[in-house]
Amino acid sequence: MKVHVVGCSHHNASVQVREKLAFNPDQARDALRLLRHRFPGSEAVLLSTCNRVELYLASEEDKRCPTHHDIAAFLAEYHGLNPLEVFEELFERTGQDAIRHLFTVAASLDSMVVGEAQIHAQVKQAYELARAGNSAGSLLHTAFQAAIRVARRVANETAIQQKRVSIPSVAVGEFAKGFFERFDDKQVLVIGAGEMGEETVRYLRDEAATDIAIVNRSRERAEALAERIGGRAEPWERLEELLVQADIVVSTTGASEPIVTWDSFRASHQARAQRPLFILDLAIPRDFDPRLAEYPEVYLYSIDDLRGVCEANQKARQREWPLAEKIIDEETERYMRELNHRATGPTIRRLKELADNVKQDELARLLNKIQPIEPRIAEEIRQAFDRAFNKLLHPPLESLRSEANDGTPHGLLDALKRLFRLE
C-alpha cells in the first residue's frame, strides 16, 4: 500500500516553472483520464492552483503506483517539456510525509498567504474532479476527507484564519494602495470572471472604486459577474481599447498563454500617451508578457511579486502555528493508524476465514460421530469451539493491530502469511 505526492509549489519553483506545469480544469480532467489508463492500479488527484501543481497518488500495491520519474515524464509529455528539466523542479513526499503535506496544504499553512480561505475550496474541487472521473478511489477518498476535516479544525480551533487574508486582499491592500491614494476616480479593467477576479474587485469596491469594466471570453460569465459586483460587461473584442482607458488592470484568466503580448500591447501603449498603468497579473500561466514591465509607465506585478508581503503576513501568524501544527500532527497520526490497520485487513480476514473453515469442518465431523445428541449439548459444543478458536487467534491478531499503530507491520504480516500459508 502506497500514498505519495509529486509536485512543485511557490516554495521550490518560480512562477515561470509553475505556469509551464499548470492545468486548467479541462486539462486536469484530461490528465487524470490519461493517468488512469497509463497506471490502472493507481488512484490520482491533481491539485493545480496559482501557487502549486501537485499530483496525489495511491495504490493498494506499491509496484502499481507511478514513481517520481513516472510523474515527471508524464508532466513533461503532457506539457511538451524536457523530462530532465521537469524532474529537477519536482518534490516528492511518501507515506506519512505525503499525508502531512496534504493536511498542511488544505489547512492553508503551506500557502503563500497563510490562512487564506481559497485553498480549502480548491482542495475540495480537485478531489471532486477526480471522483467524477473515477480517478480517486477509497485510499484518496479517506485522505481527502481527512484533509477537509483538518482544515475545519484549524479554522475553528485557531486564530490563523481570523481576518482572513488572501492574495487579492494583499494585491489591493498592499500594492494598489501603495500606488494610488484614491480609487473613486480610477477606471478598473478586470480580465477574467473567476473567483480570484471577483474577490479582487470586491476589495477594490471597498476602496471606493466604481468604474469597473469586465471582459471575459464567455460574455455570459462577464455579465453574471458584472451583475454581482456592480460593474459593466464589455465585449472581449474591446480589450485593446479598454487597455487604453484603464488605470488599473486585474487579470485572472485560465488562458494557457499570454493574452496581452509585447506586440499586441504596443498600439495600446502609444494611445495611452504615457499615462501610468497598474497591472495585477494574478493568473498562472501569466496573462501579460512580463516584458511589458520594461515600459516606464507600466507597473506590472505577478503572483511572485507578492511574496515579500505574504512572508510578513506569515510572521504575524506565527503564534498560532504551534496549535495548528499540533492538530495536523494528531490528525496525521490518526490517519496513518487507520491506513496501517487497513493494510492488515485482508490478512486478518483471510486468517479468520481459514480458522472458521477448519472449525466448521471439525465441528461437523464431531457432531456426526456422536449423533444422536441433544440440541442443548450440541450448542454448548459449538460455543466451546468458538471460544477455543477465538482465544487461539486473539494473541496474533492483537499483536498485528498493536504493531499497526506504530507503522505498517510488514514483519508480522509476512510471518502470518507464511505460517498459515495465506494467499
Q: Catalytic residues, which ones?
A: 50
Pairing of strands 211-215, 52-59: unpaired
Q: Per the structure block, which three cell numbers stand in for 329?
A: 500532527
The torsion angles phi and psi of 341, rounded to 5 degrees, stand at -65, -40
- Rounded CA-CA distance 339/415 in Å is 20
3-state secondary structure of 282: coil
- Rounded CA-CA distance 272/40 in Å is 55
Dihedral angle over CA of 274, 280, 286, 292, nearest 10: 20
Sign of CA dihedral 77, 64, 60, 87: negative
- Please give the C-alpha separations between residue 317 and each of 12, 55, 173, 322, in angstroms, as whole numbers: 22, 28, 18, 10
Pairing of strands 211-215, 187-191: parallel
Helix (H) or strand (E) holding 405: none
- Please give the C-alpha separations between residue 342 and each of 60, 214, 328, in angstroms, as whole numbers: 10, 51, 21
Q: By the 8 A CB rule, do 83 and 128 touch?
A: no
First to last CA, the chain: 16
Q: Per the structure block, which three cell numbers stand in for 280?
A: 495585477
- Rounded CA-CA distance 8/214 in Å is 32
Pairing of strands 91-94, 2-9: antiparallel
According to DSSP, the residues that pair with 6 across neighbouring strands are 55, 92
Helix 410-419 crosses helix 321-369 at what angle (to 10 degrees)? 10
